[in-house]
């Protein structure tokens, strides 16, 4: 599903991380956020994604939490159910793509044509019907990511994917600084970074950069 209304990518977001394909382009998303208010469905999908080698963000159970997670944890892709409490999946997809430039893949028990049409106008790059098998999920993500990169290649007003890679390097550096400072394991250091971003409602990259800058000032 290639949204015709998204021909012009969002260019006013500080977290916009799409861009022209180059040797640094991500071949596939690495961190995927799941939003679904059905706990068993979300847990099953998370397990499937982890088995495929993806890092799972969440799951969260509503659209508002998905938007906030995109702000603080910067996933590469978002998987959204349509019918959730508060902000629904379509509206959340629209805001996530407009504000962060993050592609969305919808999964839903509903195949109504209006949902598909609304999704195509909201930055949705794929639509999967529940129950979603592991193979359907794998192929759906690959197709959605390919369409997203295709759109990025057509757009000149966007930040390059290289920025995302540079951000990831800073986050990794900050994580290892915390490992050294706090004597914690790597996963716990990442959780500390994410908790700081959530508690202060700041992008993850800003929190990481502050830690790196502080470490540099102190002489490492």
Q: For residue 182, what is the domain's CATH number? A: 1.10.10.10
Q: Cα torsion at 189, 193, 195, 197 (round to 10°)?
A: 180
Other beta carbons less than 10 A from residue 61's beta carbon: 19
For 95-202, strand residue ranges (E) read: 104-108, 124-129
**Residue 109 sits in a domain of what CATH number?**
3.40.50.2300
Give the pair of three-digit tokens for residue 58: 């969440």
Would you state the torsion angle of the CA atoms of residues 25, 74, 194, 182, taken in this order, to the nearest 10 degrees? 20
Are 129 and 58 in the same domain? yes
pLDDT band at 122; cut points 50, 70, 90: low
145 and 173, same domain (yes or no): no
Q: Are residues 106 and 191 in the same domain?
A: no
Neighbours of 136 (CB within 10 A): 15
Give yes or no: residues 145 and 169 share one domain.
no
Task: Could you list the beta-strand ranges (E) of the chain.
Answer: 31-35, 55-60, 77-80, 104-108, 124-129
pLDDT at 115: 58
What predicted TM-score, i.e. pTM, was given to this entire model? 0.64
Residues 34, 66 within the same domain: yes
CB 49 within 8 A of CB 32: yes
Highest mean pLDDT among 3-7, 13-17, 121-125: 121-125
Total domain count, the chain: 2
pLDDT(21) > 60: no
Same domain, 31 and 102: yes
User: Kind and range of the H or E element at 207?
Assistant: helix 204-217
Of the candidates 109, 136, 153, which is a domain's last residue?
153
| Residues 191, 123 share a domain | no
pLDDT reported for residue 53? 94
pLDDT one-digit tens code per residue, 166-211:
888 899 899 999 999 899 998 899 889 988 998 988 889 999 999 9
Confidence of residue 153 (pLDDT cuts 50, 70, 90): confident
């Amino acid at each position: 599903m290639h949204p015709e209304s998204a021909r012009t990518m969002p260019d006013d977001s500080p977290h916009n991380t799409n861009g022209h394909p180059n040797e640094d382009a991500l071949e596939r998303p690495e961190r995927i956020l799941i939003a679904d208010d059905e706990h068993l469905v979300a847990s099953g999908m998370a397990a499937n994604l982890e088995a495929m080698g993806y890092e799972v963000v969440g799951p969260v159970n509503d659209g508002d939490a998905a938007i906030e997670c995109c702000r603080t944890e910067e996933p590469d892709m978002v998987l959204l159910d349509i019918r959730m409490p508060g902000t629904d999946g379509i509206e959340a997809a629209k805001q996530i793509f407009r504000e962060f430039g993050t592609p969305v893949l919808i999964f839903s028990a509903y195949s109504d044509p209006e949902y598909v049409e609304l999704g195509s106008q909201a930055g949705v790059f794929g639509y999967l019907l529940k129950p979603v098998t592991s193979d359907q999920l794998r192929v759906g993500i690959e197709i959605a990511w390919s369409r997203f990169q295709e759109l990025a290649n057509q757009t000149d007003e966007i930040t390059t994917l290289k920025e995302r890679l540079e951000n990831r390097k800073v986050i990794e550096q900050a994580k290892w600084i915390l490992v050294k400072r706090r004597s914690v394991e790597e996963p716990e250091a990442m959780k500390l970074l994410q908790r700081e971003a959530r508690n202060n409602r700041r992008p993850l990259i800003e929190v990481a950069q502050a830690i790196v800058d502080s470490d540099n000032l102190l002489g490492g």
